[in-house]
Every structure is written in C-alpha cells, then in structure tokens.
Amino acid sequence: MSDIEIFGLLLIILFSLLGSGIWIGLSLLGVATVAMLTFTTRPAGDAMATTIWGASSSWTLTALPLFIWMGEILFRTRLSEDMFRGLAPWMTRVPGRLLHTNVVGCAIFAAISGSSAATCATIGKMTLPELKSRGYPDGVSIGTLAGSGTLGLLIPPSLIMIVYGVAAEVSIAKLFIAGILPGIMLAAMFSGYVIVWALFNPEKVPEEKIHPSLAEKIYASRHLIPAVLLIALVLGSIYTGLATATESAALGAVGALVLSAVQGSLNRKNFVEAVLGATRLSCMIALILAGAQFLTLAMGFTGLPRHLAEWINSLHLSPYALIFALTLFYIVLGCFLDGISMVVLTMAVLLPTVQKAGIDELWFGIFVVLVVEMAQITPPVGFNLFVLQGMTGKQITWIARHTIPLFLLMCVAVAIVTLFPQIVNFLPDQMMVRR
C-alpha cells in the first residue's frame, strides 16, 4: 500500500473509533495496534508496554497533576469573588466597564491555573451573574468570557505547554516564560475589542451609579493580594531560576492549600473533591499521552512522518507559507479534537518538518498553543463552549457565534508573533542572560 492509502486507512479507523464514543486514549492505542500488526514486523505487545512505560515515567510530567490540583483547589475557594471585588472598581470609567472583568479576571486566574476550562468556569461563576444582574447583554458577556478563558492555555503555567514540552523535548520553564508577553498581548487585544464594541454600542453598556474614588479603588485592590502572591510564587520561582517547572508546581499546590485555608474555604469535602477532580483529569491526560506515544512509535515504524516531512520539504514552502498552512490545518483539526489530543497527535509528524524549515521549536510551541486556543471556541468540540453551555443553558452555536470576534483576534495574534518572533523569544533570552 502507498503512504496515502496507509494514512487514509488509519485516519478512517481513528475517526470511526472516536465517533463510536470510545475514549480518545483507547482510540489512539487501537489505531497504533492496527498499524503495528498490519504494517510492521515488530511485536505490538512488547512495543506498547515499553512505550507506555517510557511515556508515563517522565519526571517532567509530574508538574501536570500538581498544576491541575492547584487549579482544582482554587476553583473551590473564594478567590473568584475576591478578584471581582478587587477588579470592578477600576473598570467603572473604562469603555465597556465591567465587561473588562472577564478579560482581566481570566488573565489573572490563567496565571495560577493552567487550564482553559477551569479559567472559563471559575471566572464565569464570578462575572456572569453580576453582568446579567446589571443589564449587560448576554452575547458580549458570554462571548468575551469564552474567548478570554482561552488565556488559561497561553499564560503560564499551562497544561498544553507541559504536554508540548515533553513531546518536543523543549524546556518547560522556557515555554512558560515565552508565553507571558504573548498572553499579555492577547489579553490587551481582547480588552481593546471590548472598548471598540462599547464605543459603537454605548446604549448597551449600563451606567454605573457608583464611581469610587482613587483611595476606595486602592483599598478594594487588597482582595487581589492572594492571587498576586500565588502568581509571584509560581512564576517568580521559575523566572529567577530558583525552581524547575515541577518544583514550582509543588510550590503552587502548597500555596493554593494555604490560601484556601486562610480564606476559610478549605474543608474535608472541598479537599476530597479537589483531589478526585485532579486525579480524574490527570488520568485522562495520561491515557491520551500514552496512546499518542504508542501511535507516534507506530507511525515512525511505518515511515509516514518522515515521508510527509520529505514531501512538504519538496514543496519548498517558505517558513511563512508553512506557518499559514499549519494554522489552517490546526483550525480544521480543532473542530474535531481537544487541544491535548491535537498536540500529541501531530508533533511526531510535524516536528521533523518544522526543524527542516529552520523554525525555532520554542517559538513553535507558543504558536501551537495559540492555534490550540482557537480550538477551545470552535464547534463542535470546543471545551469552553461546553463549559459555558452548562453554565448558561445557551446553545453551542449561539455561543460560538458571539465568540467569532475573539477568534479573529487570535488569528491576528498568530500573524503578529509570526512577523515579530521576538515577542516570544525576548523573555526566555533574558532568562538565559540572567543565568
């Protein structure tokens, strides 16, 4: 069989398994097993055991459940309510007013969570009832929340960055630092959209009856202190070189426990729920990673990644043309797969191509995170859309329609970091200089 026929057959099997409702990790293992048994001579059982053990025993991966646990703990604290009280007074005179709490709240929580869905759910729990009670339109309230929730993937710590770092063998600490400036840039773009929307729709923005003084704003900002301290603990320990990504994850988890205890929101029920929630999500991700690693091995034995890389290289695409093609590819793929599956499925095939094109792997990691962010708000498999559907009862198509402006802004962000890669590389370079 030709490479195209083999690839087509495996793709049909994969989507058939996914469409039947089988877990993603098991579907990947099934396709890999078929590939090994049909197109190679190596024993599939031995290869599966060795590969899964190798994929699961990486020390770097220990950061993943720790960051997930930290997010689960914070989700069950009063952090979101405190953040709203700290942010709201500063937004009363900005065009769009309290709509900016969606963007700024997600940016802050993203820096202590690592999960897009957790960021969207936590900040939505805080802002949506307040915005609705004050008369803000549902469409722009929910749309900006869906888009801003994706900052949970870009602003470190990020689960996707950990997965990419392990798959591409790139320093996770560098990835975390590289995501800071693009994350701030994207948050600023989202706030800019809110301002422009408010200027064109002034009648839809409710008037604020209370205008706090500067002293009152500063006093209200005390509610932001716990979040700022946790951000400083996690990111500061990495940036200064005092801790690795795994060690900073442990610091963050301990910090989250201390914070919830100080707030009085830590009890036996919350603790058990946080542990179980983190365990479930960590096991799901581990199964996906194991299945993807075995599929990567099977693909390597069939020679498909190498042949695909050689074919793309024969097209003599410029780096810009290659990035444009990959953006379209990930946008389409994001309509059917979640972010982690997209990363682990494509890295084995795309990394050789990216390396041959001379594209920096650290920069490419941030690019991948940006395009995976788009997948969080593209139907039918957009995690943020599912989260907001459960919270609001709105149809996924209705929510997706109101996130289109944010999706387009993400496309612009991809173009900006492509034209100006120093936005990604500046802080990691400074980190190396400091060391």
Q: What is the pLDDT of residue 196?
A: 94
- Report how far residue 428's alpha carbon sits from residue 176's, in angstroms, rounded to the nearest whole number: 9
Respond yes or no on whether the N-terminal peptide bond of residue 157 is cis (omega within 30° of 0): yes
Classify residue 240 by its DSSP letter.
T
What contacts 24+ positions apart, CB below 8 Å, involve 258-267? 259/74, 259/77, 259/79, 259/226, 259/229, 259/230, 260/73, 260/74, 260/76, 260/77, 262/226, 263/77, 263/78, 263/79, 263/82, 263/226, 265/76, 265/77, 265/78, 266/73, 266/77
Q: What is the pLDDT of residue 431?
A: 66
- All residues at 6 or more sequence positions from 192 whose CB lies less than 8 Å from its CB, including other chains: none
Q: What is the pLDDT of residue 24?
A: 72
pTM: 0.76
Q: What is the pLDDT of residue 79?
A: 72
- All residues at 6 or more sequence positions from 247 whose CB lies less than 8 Å from its CB, including other chains: 237
Respond yes or no on whether the N-terminal peptide bond of residue 89 is cis (omega within 30° of 0): no
pLDDT of the chain along its 435 residues, tens only? 676 777 778 778 877 887 787 777 788 788 888 888 888 777 788 788 887 777 677 676 777 788 778 877 877 777 767 777 888 888 878 888 888 988 988 888 888 777 777 788 778 877 888 888 888 899 999 999 989 988 888 888 888 898 888 888 888 889 989 999 999 999 999 999 999 999 999 888 888 777 788 888 888 888 888 888 888 888 788 777 788 778 888 888 898 888 888 888 788 888 898 889 888 877 877 787 787 778 777 777 777 666 665 676 677 778 888 899 888 888 877 776 667 777 877 787 788 888 878 889 999 999 999 998 887 788 766 778 877 887 788 888 898 899 999 999 999 999 999 999 999 999 888 765 555
DSSP secondary structure, 166-180, as one string = HHHT--HHHHHHHTH
Q: What is the pLDDT of residue 316?
A: 76
